[in-house]
């Protein structure tokens, strides 16, 4: 089995860094983090209302197209009140036809 040690320097001693450089690196990373957070928050404050408005317009257009296609009309669906319009009344004669009974003439 061949083993290759790519991390020879991990076992070695870490290089010393001056204390002021460490503080400067931490401060810079903190400033970059705060700036990125503020950028993301400002984009969210701008884009969320735009997305909500675009969604509301899309829903409004979809409902108007569905209504134009006839899907928004009230009908005999359970839970919906039936209107008392004259065209909704169906008059029919019902009778039971049994298989053993001869048809009437």
| Contact partners, residue 23, CB within 8 Å, separation at least 6 | none
pLDDT over 70 (residue 84): no
| Contact partners, residue 93, CB within 8 Å, separation at least 6 | none
pLDDT over 90 (residue 39): yes
Cα distance between residue 22 and residue 28, in whole Å = 10
Cα distance between residue 30 and residue 100, in whole Å = 91
Residue (of 55, 58, 57) closest to 47 by Cα position: 55
Confidence of residue 34 (pLDDT cuts 50, 70, 90): very high
pLDDT over 70 (residue 57): yes
Alpha helix positions (H), the chain: 19-68
Q: What is the average pLDDT across 76-97? A: 63
Q: What is the mean pLDDT of the chain?
A: 79
Kindly state the percentage of the chain with pLDDT values over 90: 39
At 68 the pLDDT is 84
At 37 the pLDDT is 97
Confidence of residue 96 (pLDDT cuts 50, 70, 90): confident
Task: Report in angstroms the alpha-carbon separations of 16 from 13, 19, 22, 27, 29.
Answer: 9, 9, 10, 19, 20
pLDDT over 80 (residue 90): no
Quickly tell me which residue has 């040690």 as its tokens. 5
């Amino acid at each position: 089995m061949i083993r290759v040690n790519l991390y020879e320097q991990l076992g070695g001693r870490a290089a010393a860094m001056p204390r002021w450089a460490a503080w400067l690196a931490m401060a810079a990373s903190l400033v970059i983090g705060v700036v990125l957070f503020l950028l993301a928050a400002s984009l969210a404050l701008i884009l969320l209302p735009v997305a909500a408005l675009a969604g509301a317009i899309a829903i409004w257009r979809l409902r108007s197209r569905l209504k134009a296609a006839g899907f928004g009309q009230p009908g005999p669906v359970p839970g919906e009140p039936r209107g008392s319009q004259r065209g909704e009344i169906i008059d029919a004669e019902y009778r039971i036809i049994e298989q053993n009974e001869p048809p009437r003439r």
